[in-house]
Structure formats: structure tokens, C-alpha cells
Structure 1
Amino acid sequence: MLSSASYVCDPRPDYPLVITAKRYWISELSSDDPSALTLVLAHGTGYHKEQWEPTIECLYEYIGNDASQTVKVKDVWSIDAPNHGDAAVLNEATLRWGYDIFDWAEYSRAIHIFLAGLGTGVDVDFSKRNLVGIGHSMGAVAHILCNTFYPKMPFKSFILVEPMCFPQEPAGMTRDFGVFLTNSALKRRDIFPSREDALAWLKSRAGFKVWDERVLQAFVDHGMRDLPTAEYPDKKDGVTLKCTRAMEAACYVQHTNTGRVRGYNYLPYLCSTYPVHFLYGAVDDYIPAAVKEHTLSYGTQGKHASVKQVPNAGHVVVQTHPCELASAIWATLSSDPVPQWEKCKL
């Protein structure tokens, strides 16, 4: 039985935003071996930490079936971006200070603050853990840039799922989703009479029909909150999104010029220092095949540890194929190599 516990890291006044996270474990499978891994998960834009739960459940099935204990896992942690999920609720007032542009490095900084113990509320010393950073989309970039903060955390490897990091492209190499994603976020329906109504409406939409039912249920259970809110002070009934339309759009406004380029440019250093694994959906929807190929060849200078594809999945693989993604993560953890090259200099 998967157990979980919620945490709130409060780094104020040194950093104005609190950070929310959940720890997941199965008691009989939690290893106290000094070599055991602690997996640290980061989500994509518009989602939240609980979106990973079906993937975590499937991953623990692989751990439980591993009679030889190829990989020992102590626990799994999933961390919200400060303007998403439970963190968005707690940071509601502060986010109105002027976070109309939310640089993805803010998520990186929040992850680092949480792991480095630079706040109160978390009684875990991650400096003594063997960390594996696993991030999806924006969360992958957050993990890449997390390594740019000090003190350095003891990451052993990184698994980047559909990382949304591109070069400052030669013209025409990438499709610019910035305007499209911003407009889509701002037009998104965000008020429902109840969670039941929200679930029914989402199931009727083409984009959500393909989601795994457990992930969709988690989106309704954990990605929504009761009204009224600061965004809708006059709405007395119903539910709305924890990550508001404005906050989701804030992550897209400059994503083509900040987080994705900085993450891409830092990849050679990360790949020469740690095993960095890439997991892509086999369907090239949000990220064109040419961009994936360019990232793996030029972006990593050929020093990535491995690359795998999740069959039939596209960019939102966490939402549509959680168990297939868990299989790819398990295969990666089971064959994690050690880098054989010296650190490069940027």
C-alpha cells in the first residue's frame, strides 16, 4: 500500500514563496541501505505533484517484483512549482506581487531550497541521500537548472522526460508554442459547479479523453480548490484551478527565451558531470523530432547516458501513459551507468 505524507517548506523571509511536497513510500519496500535512492519528481506546466502518483504506484510494482534488488529505493518525493498545486494556494497573496512572468528557474530554486534545507518544516537531511532527479517538461528544465545553485545537492543522476529545452534555434527549427500556449491557458475553462461536474466535463474533451483515468481523477482531486479565491472573490460556490489561468500563462510568456534556452545551454556541463537520461514519447507532437535529435547530438555534445522512447505516447506522457513511463524509468534506473569523461567547461 502506497503511503504518503505532505510537507511545507517555509524559507521566508529569505525567499518569499513556500514550497509544498509529498513523500511516497511502501514500508516493506523502503530500503535503509546506504546506497538506496531517493527519487525527486518535478511536474510540467499546468500540473501538480500528485500527477505523478499513478507512475509512482506502477514504479513500486517493478521495485516489488525485483527479487534481486537491482535497484534499492528509500522513498519518492514530488515537489510543486511555487505557483502550482498546493503551493499556489499557500502563495496566493505573494504571487500577486508581480509574478506575471514566472521564470522556470523559480521552480529550480524552489527544488533546491527544499532539498538543501533552507527553510523550516522538513525534517529530512537530503545532503545524506542519493538523489535521482526526474522531471517532466518544465520540471525537466527545473532539474537541469537546479544544479546551478549552491550548495550542490548529492544527485547521482537525472532522468529528463520530454524536456522542454531548445537551442536558440536557427530559424524554422522549432515551433514556437509560446503564444499558442499562453492564449490556451488564458482561455481555459476554470470554474465548475463541483468536482464531479469538472470530471464529467474533462472526460468530454478530446485533449483529456486520452488521459489515464487515475491521472485525470488526481487532477480533479488535487489540482482544484473550492471557491471563493483571491482570483474570484465573488464566486461563493463551485471549484476552480489551484494553478490559475494567469499563473499557467506566466510560465509560457517568456519560456522560449529563458528557461528552455538556459536549460539547453547548461546540458553539456550536466551531461559531463552526471549520468543524464532522456525519455521521450514516440509521438513527436509538442517537440518536433528534429529538435529531439538536435538536443541529443549537439545539446548534450553526445554525452547523454541513454535515451528511450515510450511507445504511443506524446509530450504529456505522465498524463496518458503513466505505467509505460514507469517501465522506462525502471529500465533506466536498472542500467544507470557512470560517466567516463571529464567535466567540460562552458
Structure 2
Amino acid sequence: MDAIRLSPPRRLSLPVENRWGAGDMSVLDFGDPKRPVDLVFVHANGFNAMTYRTLLAPLSGTLRIWAPDLRGHGHTTLPTDPANRRGWSDHRDDLVSLLDTLDGPPVVLAGHSMGGTSSLLAAAERLDRVSKLVLMDPVIWGRIVVTLFQLPVFDRLASRIPLVKGALRRRAVFDSREQALAAYSGRGAFRGWPEMMIADYLADGLVETSEGLTLACRPEWEASNYAAQSHDPWKALKRVNRPVRILKAEAGSTCFPSPGLPGLPHVTVETVHGGTHFFPMLKADVARDALFDAAV
């Protein structure tokens, strides 16, 4: 098992076709390929599955883990069209397609930020394929805000969201990976990250083009993920009659739910003390323990 744990993940390419277009979803496969998949882990907006390699690899001696690249990220080739996007139904449906390829017992579905929310939305569509959910600071606004985001007028206001503006200003092309690593290390969202984790992000986060090394997740696609918020995670929480464990950042959280949610006895919410939105990177032991506890 030590050899399996220390070996790099295998890269799978799964065909996906739905109303959002056809292509291949790239999936990192950790652990013993002879056992069924135990856990599916989904990354945050702008990142990719490889970003979480050092979080997931230590679990692969015991668990088999699939970590997909969402549409518009990493090595996944599914088409992207930022225009007129309203919500994350495309990510939901892509994950439903991934769940449909699994022929073993129901899996633990987990994710960080947008990956957590997209996992929740997919689980609500495929309850028979999911045993539990572990959501790490998922993007779940308050109920009133979620209702307002479904109004057409909010489409015209999306460009004013600070995260949208920041994503659109993001540098998209670098001369070398070393230049990119220097640009990210210790700055912005990457502040405090281990250098190896930033290098893993860049390994699948940059692609060679005629322009140079370009972000696999284009700034306009990252921005559209921040702007498209008409999906309803509260409705999904009600539909998912499976244990849902939410780990919420103490500072800078994107997750509105708090402990003791009325009418949702299957949902537990815990605060990661001292944790920011990026606690899976900065407090990987907390995130890893939560995944292990759910899957064994």
C-alpha cells in the first residue's frame, strides 16, 4: 500500500455529453485501481484537481479517490461559454455524468468552495450514487440572497461583484512556470500556501499556447463562475437525505449556514477555528481527517 500511496495519481479521461456540450473530463485517480471508488473530491473555482494532490495522496493507501477537473479547468476539454450563464447547472450535470460512470457502492462526494456546492447540487440529482457529503467552505449564500440572485436584474449587476472584477484583471499569460510561481508565491489567495501546492496548481493550471503559458481556467470563465449564482443550494440541502458535513471557515467564509440548521437534521456545520476560505490548503490535516472519517 505504501507504493500506491506514494505513486502519482493516474490520469483518466471520461467522455461527457449533456446539454452544455460534449468533451472529455479529466480525472485524477488515486489509490488501488482494483477497488471501487470511495471518494470523489471536487476543486474550487480557478484551480484544478492536481492542486489538492498533497491533501489527497496520503489517503490513497486506504481509499480510492477520484478528483475531476471541472469544465473550464485543468485538462478537461468540455466547452465553455461564459455568455448568459445563470448558475452552476453545467458543473452539476458534469458531475452527474461522472457519478453515472461509477459501478461500485455509493461514494462520499466532497469538495471545496464551488466544488463543494457543485457536489451538493449533483448529489441532489443522484441520491442513489452518494452515501455522504463533506463540503469545505461551500459557496452557500443566505436564503434571501439566493432568492435575489434568481431575479433577472442581478445579471446586470454581476459585473460589479469584486470577485468578478478581480478575476477579469487576472494575468493570464506567463513566460515560464518559474515566473508564474514567483508571481503567485506569498500573494493574494496563495498567501501562506506550501510551495509544493502552488507548483501542483501550476502543473495543470498552465497550458502551452502560441502566446506562452496560459491559464487553463481563463479569467473570463473564472469570472463567470463568480457571477453565475442563480442555482439554489438550499433546495439541494433539503433534497439530499444523506449525512452532510459542512466545514466552515472562521474568517472570510463563503458559507452562510451555521450550526443547528432548523429542518435539516442531516446537516452538521462546524467552524474550522483559525481557518480561512483556503483552509484545505493551509490546514490540510483538518480537511484530510474529515475526508477519512467520512469514507471509512
TM over 0.5: yes
Q: Please name the residue that 2:237 is paired with.
A: 267
Offset of residue 245 of structure 1: 0.2
2:257 maps to 292
Answer with 15-24 or 133-142: which moved more.
15-24
Separation in 1, partners of 2:87, 2:145: 23
Q: 1:95 aligned to 80, 89, 94, which one?
A: 80
Q: Structure 2 vs 1, CA of residues 15 and 268 (structure 1 numbering), >3 Å: closer, same or farther?
A: closer
Q: Is the 8 A contact 2:106 2:128 kept in 1?
A: no
Percentage identity across aligned positions? 19
Residue identity matched to 1:4: P
Q: Secondary structure at the match of 2:144?
A: coil
Q: Do residues 195 (structure 1) and 177 (structure 2) align? A: yes
Instruction: Please say if 1:104 is aligned against 2:88.
Output: yes
The TM-score normalised by the length of structure 2 is: 0.83
Query: What CA deviation, in whole Å up to 9, does each residue of 1:166-210 have, x standing for no partner?
Result: 233279xxxx99701100100112221100111011115243231
* Pairing 1:78–2:60 present: no
**C-alpha deviation, 1:23, in angstroms:** 0.8
> Which residue is 2:154 aligned to?
none
State the shift of 1:12 in Å: 4.0
What SS is found at the alignment partner of 2:277? coil
1:250 to partner: Cα distance: 1.0
**1:21·1:78 contact (CA, 8 Å) conserved in 2?**
yes
Deviates more, 1:243-252 or 1:209-218: 209-218
- Contact 1:100 / 1:250 at 8 angstroms: preserved in 2? no
CA distance in 1, matches of 2:215, 2:234: 30
In structure 2, do the counterparts of structure 1 residues 287 and 142 end up closer, same or farther at CA, with 3 Å as the change threshold?
closer
Q: Distance in 2 between matches of 1:218 and 1:102?
A: 31
Counterparts of residues 1-346 of structure 1 (less than 5 Å):
1-12=6-17, 16-18=21-23, 19-25=25-31, 27=32, 32=35, 38-60=38-60, 63=62, 73=63, 75-87=64-76, 90-91=77-78, 94-96=79-81, 99=83, 101=85, 103-117=87-101, 126-149=102-125, 152-169=127-144, 179-228=161-210, 235=211, 238-255=212-229, 258-259=230-231, 262-270=232-240, 273-281=241-249, 283-287=250-254, 291-293=256-258, 296-298=260-262, 301-333=263-295
What's the CA shift for 1:159? 0.7
Which letter does structure 1 place at the counterpart of 2:14?
A: C
Shifted more, 76-85 versus 314-323: the winner is 314-323
Q: Matched residue pairs, number?
A: 280
Asked if the contact 2:20–2:90 (Cα under 8 Å) also holds between the matched residues in 1, the reply is no
> Residue 321 of structure 1: CA displacement?
2.3
Report the TM-score when normalising by structure 1. 0.72
User: Is residue 124–residue 239 contact of structure 2 (8 Å, CA) maintained in 1?
Assistant: no
Deviation of 1:56 (Å): 0.6
Tell me if the contact between 1:58 and 1:322 (Cα under 8 Å) persists in the aligned partners: no
Q: Report how far residue 310 of structure 1 moved.
A: 3.2
Q: For the residues of structure 2 that align with 1:254 and 1:15, how far apart are their CA atoms?
A: 15
Alpha-carbon RMSD: 2.9
**Which digits, 9 at most, give the CA deviation of each residue in 1:195-232, with x for residues without a partner?**
0111011115243231122221111111111122xxxx
Q: Which runs of 4+ in 1 moved over 6 A?
A: none
Letter in 2 for 1:81: L
Larger Rg: 1
- Deviation string for 1:52-109 (max 9, x for gaps)? 2111123347x4xxxxxxxxx3x1001111111111xx24xx425x645263121111
Q: d(CA) in 1 for partners of 2:180 and 2:8?
A: 27
Q: Which amino acid aligns with 1:254?
A: A
Unpaired runs of at least 5, structure 1: 64-72, 118-125, 229-234, 335-346
Give the letter for the 1:140 counterpart.
G
